[in-house]
C-alpha cells in the first residue's frame, strides 16, 4: 500500500465517468417528463374550455361563432359544426399546439 499513489486518480476518473453517465442518461428522461406534464395541463385546459363553451351555448349565453381564446399564454381555437348524422346537435372543437409543436384537437357535442 505504500506505492499506490497513482491509482487514486484512476479511481476518481472512473467514479466521475459513472456519475456523468448517470446524469446524462437521466436528464433526457426528466426533460421528457416535463414536456408530458405540460401537454397534460394543456389538454386539461382544452377540455375545460370546451366544456365551458358548450355549456354556455346550451344555456343560450353564446352563439356558435368561431373564437380564439388565449389562456396561460397559449392560443386555443374554438370551431363549431354539425356532427355527421346528428342534425339536432352542435359540435364544438378546440384546437391548440402542444409542447412538442403538434396540432391537437378536442371535440364534443351538445344539443341545439
Contact 110, 58 (CB under 8 A): yes
Taking only the tens place, the pLDDT of each residue in 13-43 is: 999 999 999 889 999 999 999 999 999 999 9
Task: Please provide the average confidence, as pLDDT, over all residues in the chain.
Answer: 89
Task: Check whether 109 has a pLDDT greater than 80.
Answer: yes
Taking only the tens place, the pLDDT of each residue in 39-57 is: 999 999 999 999 999 999 9
Task: Check whether 110 has a pLDDT greater than 90.
Answer: no
What is the per-residue pLDDT for 93?
95
Beta bridge partners of 103: 97
Task: Check whether 84 has a pLDDT greater than 80.
Answer: yes
Task: Check whether 8 has a pLDDT greater than 90.
Answer: no
Q: Taking the domains of the chain in order of start, what are their residue ranges?
A: 7-111
Question: What is the pTM assigned to this prediction?
Answer: 0.76
Best CA proximity match to 74, nearest among 106, 41, 52: 41
Task: Check whether 1 has a pLDDT greater than 60.
Answer: no
Place of cell 356558435: 64
What is the per-residue pLDDT for 7?
72
**CA–CA dist 90, 97 (Å, integer):** 24
Amino acid at each position: 500500500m505504500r506505492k499506490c499513489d497513482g491509482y487514486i486518480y484512476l479511481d476518481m476518473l472512473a467514479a466521475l465517468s459513472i456519475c456523468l453517465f448517470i446524469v446524462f442518461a437521466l436528464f433526457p428522461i426528466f426533460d421528457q417528463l416535463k414536456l408530458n406534464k405540460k401537454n397534460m395541463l394543456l389538454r386539461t385546459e382544452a377540455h375545460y374550455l370546451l366544456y365551458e363553451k358548450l355549456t354556455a351555448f346550451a344555456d343560450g349565453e353564446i352563439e356558435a361563432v368561431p373564437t380564439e381564446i388565449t389562456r396561460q399564454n397559449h392560443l386555443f381555437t374554438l370551431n363549431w359544426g354539425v356532427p355527421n348524422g346528428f342534425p339536432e346537435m352542435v359540435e364544438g372543437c378546440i384546437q391548440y399546439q402542444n409542447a412538442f409543436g403538434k396540432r391537437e384537437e378536442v371535440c364534443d357535442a351538445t344539443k341545439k
